[in-house]
């Protein structure tokens, strides 16, 4: 199954480091991040899961739950979590799925045969409270993810949903945003009371509405 932007994220039941879980029940009304790892006890993944754990307050601020996946088993997960806590100076509190039968990996298209016939690629999905897939990023197994970018995209998606704007290149929280072309100039001036800066009829900026 190939997952695309805008698709409904498939539900599943799985065994995890925190016990059996149902994906939809785990997410509830939160945003979600589901991300895959090639295997336990791998160096790049160890740093990633440590960073994810350290960023828990940032994910909490954004009403976002994280869920990792590896094709190894629960015993390996528990031993690996101990290593992560030790080496990354953290306490991993989010679940890691044990996907030994690769059912979830195949459901979410995490195995790319030309990269590896058995191991998952380093994929990450952002899923909104309506269970729609809003972002898909896939890295090679050798390259760690950029969590600054993941948080930036979360901020952008939540701002877009809340205020009907778009965000320009390299945008960061607090900076000016773009008014979509579908919004007329008259409506833009009524809606965005902080001001409308017109560069071109199709390129208009306004201060971030919630700042």
- For the chain, the average pLDDT equals 92
Greater confidence (105 vs 166) lies with: 166
pLDDT per position as a tens digit, 15-70: 999 999 999 999 999 999 999 887 788 899 899 999 999 999 999 999 999 999 98
Selecting among 34, 45, 68, 154, the annotated active-site residue is 45
Catalytic residue flag (residue 141): no
pLDDT at 115: 47
Measured CA to CA, the distance from residue 62 to residue 57 in angstroms comes to 9
Domains of the chain and CATH, by start: 13-145 (3.40.30.10), 164-206 (3.30.1020.10)
Measured CA to CA, the distance from residue 127 to residue 27 in angstroms comes to 9
DSSP state of 13: E
Number of H helices, E strands in the chain: 7, 10
pLDDT per position as a tens digit, 1-15: 589 999 999 999 999
Q: Which residues pair with 36 in a beta bridge?
A: 69
């Amino acid at each position: 199954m190939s997952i695309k932007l805008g698709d409904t994220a498939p539900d599943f039941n799985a065994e995890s480091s925190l016990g059996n879980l149902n994906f939809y029940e785990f997410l509830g009304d939160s945003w979600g991040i589901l991300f895959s790892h090639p295997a336990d006890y791998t160096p790049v993944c160890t740093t990633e899961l440590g960073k994810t754990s350290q960023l828990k307050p940032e994910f909490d601020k954004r009403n976002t739950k994280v869920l990792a996946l590896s094709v190894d088993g629960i015993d390996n997960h528990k031993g690996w979590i101990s290593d992560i806590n030790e080496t990354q100076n953290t306490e991993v509190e989010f679940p890691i799925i044990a996907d030994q039968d690769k059912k979830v990996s195949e459901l979410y298209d995490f195995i790319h045969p030309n990269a590896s016939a058995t191991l998952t690629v380093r994929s990450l999905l952002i899923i909104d409270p309506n269970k729609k897939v809003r972002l898909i990023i896939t890295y090679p197994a050798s390259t760690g993810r950029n969590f600054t970018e993941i948080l930036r995209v979360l901020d952008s998606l939540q701002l877009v949903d809340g205020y009907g704007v778009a965000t320009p290149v390299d945008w960061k929280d607090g900076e000016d945003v773009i008014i979509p072309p579908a919004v007329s100039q008259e409506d833009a001036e009524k809606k965005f009371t902080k001001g409308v800066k017109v560069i071109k009829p199709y390129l208009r900026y306004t201060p971030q509405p919630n700042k």
